[in-house]
Amino acid sequence: MNWITVKHFPIEQDLSALSHYLRERGLQHRITEEDGRQCLMVLDPDVIPALQEFLTRYEQGDIELQLTHTSSFTNAPSGHQTQGFPNLVQQALQVPVVTCLILLSGLGALVVGTQWMAYFTFLGVVDNRFIPLANTLASGEVWRLVTPAFLHSGIFHVLFNCLWMWELGRRLEFLTGRWHFLLFFIITAIAANASEFIWSGHANFGGMSGVVYALVGFIAVRQRIAPHPLVAVPSALIGFMLFWLVLCMTGVVDYFIAGSVANAAHLGGLIAGAVYALFTKHLYLR
């Protein structure tokens, strides 16, 4: 078991009410002294984003916990309320970019196979035929460099990518902030889509998995050079994703799905995410 540091507090601050509050809600944690500060640590990395949001509000005075002689909590006289961890809707609102990407992926799955799909493919379409990339860009349709990421062919395809976006994307949006995460998505989506187009030579592809692998690449490199609890995912998870990448590249998975896996998009996204982590190693240290 590896304890993960979430936050440091002044040595003189009384954290008994906070500790009791977390314990009542079943959150396994411990508070130790390190370098003259109190250190709050947890075992489960999945709770860190919500816990940090809660601690931020706690420090700002939006939430006040009072430990009475009966070990219960009361509302602060100023009207601040004791609140639990965010529900699913509240969590979605905390990460608006991730939420929008998931919703757009769902909409993208609905347009695949319809006439609307032609507006979101990597290349422009004229008279039911793809036109060269230079002509597509010259016509101002630059959004096509990104929009294939939203196109998904089937329920399992979109669910798989959205679940990984929710699990890994939230961590990055909390770490980098929404605008930096949006930039990360745009850069890595273009890298993944361009890689697949250059490798395959066709424009009939789609899916968020290239960006998902960019998240994997970012987290793998970031945790090596500048570890942060928000992206402290189990190494077995990273290992599984890399194993899946190699397995797909062998062509075995193609026998069990309709169409083929966009392996170049996966690899291009992985590399783009890793490079992004290297270039931003001095950022997002809070």
Q: So which residues are the catalytic ones?
A: 209, 266
β-strand partners of 227: none
Instruction: Please list, in sequence order, all residues whose beta carbon lies within 8 angstroms of the beta carbon of residue 131, skipping any fewer than 6 positions away.
Output: 123, 124, 125
Token reading at 102: 């998931």
Who contacts 91 (Cβ-Cβ below 8 Å, separation ≥6)?
49, 50, 170
Query: Distances from the Cα of 286 to the Cαs of 114, 176, 279, 283, in angstroms?
Result: 45, 9, 17, 8
The number of CA neighbours under 13 Å toward the Cβ of 19 is 13
Six-digit token pair at 45? 């990395």
CA distance 42 to 4: 5
Q: Which of 198, 205, 235 is nearest to 220 (CA)?
A: 235
E strands of the chain, at which residues? 4-10, 29-34, 37-42, 125-126, 129-130
Q: Check residue 199 and report its DSSP letter.
A: H
Whole-angstrom distance, CA of residue 189 vs CA of residue 214:
8
